[in-house]
Amino acid sequence: MAWCGPRASASDPNSSLRSAALAPGNLLSPLGDTASPDLGKPSLEDWKAVGQASKKHPDLRALPAIECLRYLAETQEGTTASVEKWKQSSRWYLDRQAARSAFFAREDAERARMVDSLCEKRAALLTSPVDADLPQSDILAGGRLLVATLVTVLDGASEVESLSFLDIEDLPPWDTWIAYAPMIGGKSHPQVISWVPPSFLQLAEAGIRVNCVECLRWATPEDLQLNAQR
């Protein structure tokens, strides 16, 4: 707040809180696109084979295409029981899942490092000390905490409605980032928590309303308790 408050300009929602000195890397792909594990790219013929197999064995529709192809190569069955048994016994599948888990863990660690580094740089650049003794009613200084889940379809709707306060990846300006909440056991999506200054509350709300994947919302007391536990 001590950093963002004086810099927030309602006339410049796009760049007033995107300081070059704090610019992070790509939070959605923190390790770069080339670092992701090889998950395979099915050909047109592969897709046809998957479609035909799924018609015969509907349970195969739950598998990603590349896994379905491997399953078909290793077995001719298609029941739920056989798919689950294959997942537990196929060395290829187990190695693939291990590689994915390791990659996601590395991504999570790098995202946390990026947000922590940004917060440290911002604190070091502050010319006046942060008042840690504010009354509870003034803790957010009229602003609100925004939770941005790192899931997006890059449709640009929130970006347009918020006048670019939110970017194409549905993220608020990096100057406002205050915490990162990692994935839990690979079953939840990571989140970034930000402080939205009063002058940008309406723009952020406009972006939230049109977001088709509901990856943006205002923080609740439960969010803050959960993040503290993490």
Overall number of domains in the chain: 1
204 within domain boundaries: yes
Long-range contacts of 131-139 (CB under 8 A, 24+ apart): 131/2
Q: In the predicted model, what is the mean pLDDT of residues 192-218?
A: 95
CA 124 centroid distance within chain: 26
pLDDT > 80? residue 8 = yes
Angle at 25 between CA 24 and CA 31, to 5 degrees: 145
In this prediction, residue 79 has a pLDDT band, given cuts at 50, 70 and 90, of low
Give pLDDT, residue 206.
Answer: 97
Lowest mean pLDDT across 121-135, 139-153, 208-222: 121-135
pLDDT-derived band at 136 (thresholds 50, 70, 90) equals very low
Give me the mean pLDDT over the 6-12 stretch.
90
Asked if 192 and 26 count as a contact pair (C-beta separation under 8 A), the reply is no
Helix axes 80-89, 65-74, angle to 10 degrees: 90
Q: How many CA atoms lie within 13 A of 217 on its CB side?
A: 12
Question: Does 82 fall in a domain?
Answer: no
Picking from 66-80, 99-113, 187-201, which range would have the lowest pLDDT averaged per residue?
A: 66-80
Residue 136 belongs to what domain range? 103-229
Flag whether 50 is in a domain: no
pLDDT, residue 72, reads 82
Q: In this predicted structure, what is the pLDDT of residue 194?
A: 96
Q: Does some domain include residue 203?
A: yes
| Mean pLDDT for the stretch of residues 25-41 | 72
**Does residue 58 lie within any of the structural domains?**
no
In a domain, 87, yes or no: no
β strands within 111-190, DSSP E: 144-149, 177-181
Q: Is residue 22 part of a domain?
A: no
Distance set, CA 176 to CA 4, 21, 112, 145 (Å): 7, 13, 15, 9
Query: Is the model more confident about 159 or about 222?
Result: 159
Residue 166 included in any domain: yes
Q: Residue 74 is inside which H or E element, if any? A: helix 65-74
